[in-house]
Structure 1
Amino acid sequence: MPLNDYVKYLTERITSYIDTPTNEKREQKLKNKSEEPVYSNKWLGILPFAFKIIKKKFE
C-alpha cells in the first residue's frame, strides 16, 4: 500500500472516530467488553493463533 493511501485511510478512520457521538462510543466499548475472548487466546496466548495461520499457509 503506497504511503499516500495509508495516510488517507488513517485520516478517514480518525475523522470518523471523532465524528461519532460519545454515547455511541460508550455503547461500542461496552459491547466489546461483553464479548468473550476466544478460549485458546485467553488461556494460551497468541501461539495457537500463530500455529493456525501457519497451518493454513501450508495447506
Structure 2
Amino acid sequence: MKTNDYVKYMTEQLVTYVDIPREERKEKRQLKKKHRPPMSYRLFGLIPIAFRFLFNRHK
C-alpha cells in the first residue's frame, strides 16, 4: 500500500467515524466493554481455562 492510499483510507475511516452520532458511538463502546472476555483469558489465552478444566475434572 502506498502512502497516498494509506492517507486516503485513514481519511475515509475518520469521516465515517465522525458521521456517526456521539450517542451511538458511546453505546457501541459500552456494548464492546460489556462483551469482553475475562481479564485472565485476554492476558494469557487458553492456559487459565485449560487449568480450570483440568482441576475441575479431578474434583
**How many residues matched?**
46
- Aligned match of 1:12: 12
Long gaps (5+) in structure 2: 48-59
Query: Is 1:32–2:47 an aligned residue pair?
Result: no
CA 1:11/1:43 → structure 2, altered by over 3 Å: closer, same or farther?
A: closer
**Stretches (4+) displaced over 4 A:** 38-41
CA RMSD of aligned residues (A): 2.5
Q: TM-score, normalised by structure 2?
A: 0.61
Taking every aligned residue pair, what percent have the same amino acid on both sides? Answer: 39
Q: TM-score, normalised by structure 1?
A: 0.61
Question: Which structure has the larger Rg over C-alpha atoms?
Answer: 2
